[in-house]
Amino acid sequence: MEKHEVVPDVLDKVPAQILDVKYGELVVDLGTVLTPTQVQNPPTHLNWIAEDGALYTIIMTDPDAPSRKDPTFREWHHWMVVNVPGNDVTKGETWSEYIGAGPPQGTGLHRYVLIVYKQQGKLVPTEAKRRKNPDTRASWNVRNFAKSNALGEPVAANFFQAEFDDYVSKLYKEFQNN
């Protein structure tokens, strides 16, 4: 995470755990390069060492919007699930609908960071729910969100990298039709 500057661009320090992430059979391993086509749907597997009875928040963010060289929209918010019991994401509450990687053409590799926070109890986030709409997703900040919702330091994280492929054009057309 330090090699790819996730620390300090997104996180202050590397969490104690590496989040186990899979998209189908594809394993995310601290900077794995995947295509937007491969990650167009939410991960099929997320796992971390969870405490019995604890609730967690999962967030996916892109600090490289519109590009890593010029991150003027840092961060672009891709997904959030809150009130996840243990590590059973299917039983959590989707607060921001998943939008897969969508780096603009010619902007190179973007980092997509998946982060897990342990909640102090049931969480009602300080911001509105987000549908699959890009209008409220730019210039978001995971640190500010964690602070305003008393989440503390993340317990686990991982990230992959992706750059433009043909799926991104389809994603942008979907946005225009909503």
pLDDT at 14 over 80: yes
Query: Residue 157: which CATH number?
Result: 3.90.280.10
Q: Is residue 129 part of a domain?
A: yes
pLDDT at 78 over 80: yes
Q: Is residue 159 part of a domain?
A: yes
Convert the pLDDT of each residue in 115-157 to its tens digit: 999 999 999 998 999 988 888 899 999 999 999 999 999 999 9
| Total domains present in the chain | 1
Q: In percent, how much of the chain has pLDDT > 90?
A: 91
The 3-state secondary structure of the chain reads CCCCCHHHHCCCCCCCEECEEEECCEEECCCEECCCCCCCCCCCEEECCCCCCCEEEEEEEECCCCCCCCCCCCCEEEEEEEEEECCCHHHCEEEECCCCCCCCCCCCCEEEEEEEEECCCCCCCCCCCECCCHHHCCCCCHHHHHHHCCCCCCCEEEEEEECCCHHHHHHHHHHHHC
Q: Is residue 119 part of a domain?
A: yes
pLDDT at 178 over 70: no
pLDDT at 177 over 80: no
Q: Is residue 37 part of a domain?
A: yes
- Global pTM reads 0.96
Mean pLDDT of the chain: 95
Q: Is residue 72 part of a domain?
A: yes
Q: Is residue 88 part of a domain?
A: yes
